[in-house]
Amino acid sequence: MRVNILSLLLLLGAHAGLTLGQAWPFGPFVTSGRWIHNSQGKNVTYAGANWPGAADVMIPEGLQYASITSIVSGIKSLGLNVIRLTFAIEMIDDIYDNGGDKTLLVAFQKALGTANGLKVYNQVLAKNPSFNATTTRVQVYDAVAAECLKQQIYVHLDNHMSKGGWCCSTDDGNSWFGDTYFDVTKWKRGLNYMATRGAKWGNMMSIGLRNELRQPSNNAAVSATYNWETWYTNVVAAAKGVNAANPNTLIFLSGLGFDTTLAPLTTGANLGSGTVFRKSDFTFANKLVLEIHNYQNSATSCSSITSGLYTDGFNALDTTNSAIKNVFPVVMTEFGYDQTDTSYTGVYATCLRSYLPAQKAGWMLWALGGSYYIRSGTQDFDETWGLYNHDWSAWRNSNSLSAIKSMAAATLA
Ligand SMILES: *[C@@H]1O[C@H](CO)[C@@H](O)[C@H](O)[C@H]1NC(C)=O
Ligand SMILES: *[C@@H]1O[C@H](CO)[C@@H](O)[C@H](O)[C@H]1NC(C)=O
């Protein structure tokens, strides 16, 4: 009897804790000027890695080689605190329009063919025995998030593609609002679906509305609408929808040119026809974060990288510059380099490894995994930029890894 009362009290305590944000992850997060704060008013900075799931199979990568538990344990061992978990809108379109989400076997066979699909499916089940014949793709997302919750890793969701596949090119039909596969209505529906689903996970703290917007090279009509004014119309509407679906989540806004510039947003410049981005126009301004990517891997000068980053969006962190009209947190949600050679000692890698922690800016490396189920038509594609080796069993490059560990420690110090 005593034991039962005790359990009941513990249960009530745990429940109250979750409700009031008094337990990890201390959500929801809000922004305050250039900082992200948790529910205790403490600064939170992201230090993490990209875990891709938006390619053809539309299932988080690597599960034929390793269990979710061991992959997440590896992330934890590096001192990282977040994953950027990418998804494709096509998965949600299937849920609404095509009779429901696909089971794992169907998804693998569609992308890899009957024989290879079956083989990889069986490998996934062998490594991850909690899955079975009825498990669907989105249930794998649930399972990844659940393990991250257990190991106290935040989940940042990212809409990477509309049609599942390797991202990004200017002729892949996913480049810009209204492109061949980029149906704006379905995009918003998919974002709202994942924002709502993520709300149940407990550790989904933020969502990126769209990865690497870019001008299509093969679609003249859509190309003609590639400008900041079109960006404003679509992104503001999508952000409002996500905020209504999940008022707790932070919403990450990405820029143009493969998300390499946010320039007119931070300075409050005219985006076209007098449209101006003003933080104060949002009722949920304290949920908005800017994200930027950088792949200047062949740069020869760190100062040229960092001065470019400043004008392209990191100036949103600068509370001392009166030209900056919109102060926001800025997170570099993608950067990365070859893990199979000495790139980690080069100008680019060393520059960002010192610059980002010095700004106390968040970051996510591309990429966590050493291979893809399929990328651009090649099955079991080797990801030489992956932190894990090809079969996700060990790190690729221990010297590079210790530099990343130090970067994480400096960021979170
Ligand atoms: C966040 O970090 C900055 C820089 O270290 C510090 O000045 C500020 O007081 C911190 N805010 C909180 C709420 O701890
Ligand atoms: C199959 O897996 C799903 C999710 O992965 C789970 O909800 C369900 O309970 C499992 N079914 C069985 C019979 O184990």
- Ligand 2, atom nearest to 140 Cα: 5
The answer to whether 144 touches 156, Cβ cutoff 8 Å, is: no
Here the tokens at position 336 are: 């990365």
Q: Is the pLDDT confidence value at 18 over 70?
A: no
Distance 254 CA to ligand 1 centre (A): 25
Q: Which ligand has the shortest distance to the CA of 34?
A: 1
Q: Is any ligand 1 atom within 6 A of the Cβ of residue 33?
A: no
Ligand whose nearest atom lies closest to the CA of 30: 1
Cβ atoms 100, 107 nearer than 8 A: no
Decide whether any atom of ligand 1 lies within 6 Å of the 35 Cβ: yes
- Residue 21: the pLDDT is 75
pLDDT at 16 over 70: no
Ligand nearest to the CA of 317: 1
Which ligand 1 atom lies nearest to the CA of residue 41? 13
pTM of the model as a whole: 0.95
194-244 pLDDT, tens digit each: 999 999 999 999 999 999 999 999 999 999 999 999 999 999 999 999 999
In this structure, how many other beta carbons lie within 10 angstroms of the beta carbon of residue 7? 10
Q: Which two tokens stand for residue 81?
A: 């605190």
Please check whether residue 43 is in contact with residue 35, taking contact to mean a CB–CB distance below 8 angstroms: yes
**Backbone phi, then psi, for 123, in 5-degree steps?**
-65, -40
102 Cα: distance to centroid of ligand 2 (angstroms):
14
Q: Which ligand is nearest to the CA of 36?
A: 1
Distance CA 96, CA 217 (A): 30
User: Please, what are the domains in the chain?
Assistant: 2-10+36-412 (3.20.20.80)
Looking at the CA of residue 37, tell me the nearest atom of ligand 1: 13
Please report the atom of ligand 1 found closest to the CA of residue 35: 1
Evaluate if residue 14 carries a pLDDT over 60: no
Minimum CA distance residue for ligand 2 atom 7: 135
Encoded tokens for 275: 């449209």
Nearest CA to ligand 1 atom 1: 43
> For atom 11 of ligand 1, which residue has the closest CA?
43
Ligand nearest to the backbone CA of 32: 1
| Residue 134 CA, ligand 2 centroid: distance in Å | 7
Q: What pLDDT score was predicted for residue 20?
A: 55
Angle at 333 (CA atoms; ends 401, 27), nearest 5 degrees = 100
Q: What is the pLDDT of residues 137-172, one digit of tens each?
A: 999 999 999 999 999 999 999 999 999 999 999 999
Predicted confidence (pLDDT) at residue 289 exceeds the cutoff of 80: yes
CA atoms within 13 Å, Cβ hemisphere of 56: 19
**Per-residue pLDDT, 8:** 47
Task: Name the nearest CA neighbour of 401 among 387, 384, 383, 385.
Answer: 387
User: pLDDT tens digits for 245-263?
Assistant: 999 999 999 999 999 999 9
**% of the chain at pLDDT higher than 70:** 95
Establish whether residue 185 lines the binding site of ligand 2, counting it when its CB lies within 6 angstroms of any ligand atom. Answer: no
d(CA 413, CA 408): 8
Shortest-distance Cα residue to atom 13 of ligand 1: 42
What secondary structure, in 3-state letters, does the chain show? CHHHHHHHHHHHHHHHHHHHCCCCCCCCCEEECCEEECCCCCECCCEEEEECCCCCCCCCCCCCCCCHHHHHHHHHHCCCCEEEEEEEHHHHHHHHHCCCCCEHHHHHHHHHCHHHHHHHHHHHHHHCCCCCCCCEHHHHHHHHHHHHHHCCCEEEEEEEECCCCCCCCCCCCCCCCCCCCCCHHHHHHHHHHHHHHHHCCCCEEEEECCCCCCCCCCCHHHHCCCCHHHHHHHHHHHHHHHHHHCCCCEEEEECECCCCECHHHHCCCECCCCCECCHHHCCCHHHEEEEEECCCCCCCCHHHHHHHHHHHCHHHHCCCCCCCCCCCCEEEEEECCCCCCCHHHCHHHHHHHHHHHHHCCEEEECCCCCEEEEECCEEEEECCCCCECCCCCCECCHHHHHHHHHHHHHHHC
- In the reported structure, the alpha carbon of residue 42 is separated from the centroid of ligand 1 by a whole-number distance in angstroms of 8
- What number is the average pLDDT over the span 40-68? 98
At residue 11 the predicted structure's pLDDT band, cuts being 50, 70 and 90, is very low
Mean pLDDT, rounded, of the chain: 95
Number of residues that this document lists for the chain: 413
Q: Over 80: is that where the pLDDT of 295 sits? A: yes
